[in-house]
Amino acid sequence: MARITSEEMKERLAVYFIMGSQNSEQPAEQVLEEALDGGVTLFQFREKGPGAFKGEDKAALARKLQRLCRTYGVPFIVNDDVELAIAIDADGVHVGQDDEDARRVREKIGDKILGVSAHNVKEARAAIEAGADYIGVGPIYPTRSKDDANEAQGPDILRRLREAGITIPIVAIGGIAVDNAREVMEAGADGVSVISAIASAPVPKAAAAALAAAVRAARVSR
């Protein structure tokens, strides 16, 4: 498999759903299946925080969710855990600034998708240099889904990155929902990444479909 192209990456980032078992009252596989049905384009398995599975239990849940993603033709990305991603042959890995060095991760995963969190122009440039396929930028708005989240930066951070000449695919994250998706797309994101807007929605399928529609509409109008 060759590296994903920038164009394909941008398409895939449209509605990027992130979840672990700790993010929903419902079983994770049920929520994910609904989300996939609703039109999610990329999925990240992020199993962390209080009550998260570890070891073999974590790997077993990863495999279950990975199978579901395969059925829908949606790439399956693993958060942080490079060894797990390699062990189950996931489609990619996402790492933050405090995780394993992105350059090392690129060496380990070959052509798999590499996502890196970046909060400013300097981190964005370093991620590109290290071989990232996309960067995750946020939190854009306040979030309750990440304990150690930085302060919300607002959609202007996306504009600043684009104005600085950063052309790598960007997914915006943090407090994004159907009512503010257009705003972040207009500021320069290629897609939106969400946990609670889908995982905590009364009907995850409807929430995913509404987000997909909002992102599509924003793309057409720019």
Q: Helix or strand or coil: residue 17?
A: strand
Residue 196 engages ligand TZP in binding (rule: CB under 6 A): yes
Q: Please give the Cα distance from 170 to 134 (Å, whole number).
A: 6
Q: Please give the Cα distance from 162 to 72 (Å, whole number).
A: 32
CB of 195 to ligand TZP, least distance (A): 4
Count the Cβ atoms, other than its own, within 10 Å of residue 142.
10
Residue 166 structure tokens? 């950063």
Q: Please give the Cα distance from 214 to 45 (Å, whole number).
A: 24
* Binds 92: which of ligand TZP, Mg ion, none (CB < 5-8 Å by kind): none
**146 labelled catalytic:** yes
46 is in an annotated binding site: yes
- Catalytically annotated residue among 3, 63, 103, 146: 146
At residue 59's C-alpha, the angle toward residues 171 and 95, to 5°, is 30
Report residue 182: phi and psi, to 5°: -60, -45
**54 labelled catalytic:** no
**117 labelled catalytic:** yes
Please identify which residue in 124, 158, 195, 207 interacts with ligand TZP, judged by CB under 6 A: 195
Q: Which is nearer to ligand TZP, 165 or 202 (CB)?
A: 202
CB of 157 to Mg ion, least distance (A): 19
Residue 114 CB burial class (10 angstroms; 0-12, 13-18, ≥19):
buried
Q: x/- string (CB under 5 A) for Mg ion, residues 79-108?
A: -x---------------x--x---------
Residue 167 structure tokens? 């052309």
Q: Helix or strand or coil: residue 28?
A: helix
Size of the site for ligand TZP (CB under 6 A): 14
CB of 219 to ligand TZP, least distance (A): 20
Residues found near ligand TZP in the complex (CB under 6 A)? 138-139, 143, 145-146, 149, 173-176, 194-197
Binding site for Mg(2+), residues? 80, 99
The residues annotated with a catalytic role in the active site are 46, 117, 146
Residues found near Mg ion in the complex (CB under 5 A)? 80, 96, 99
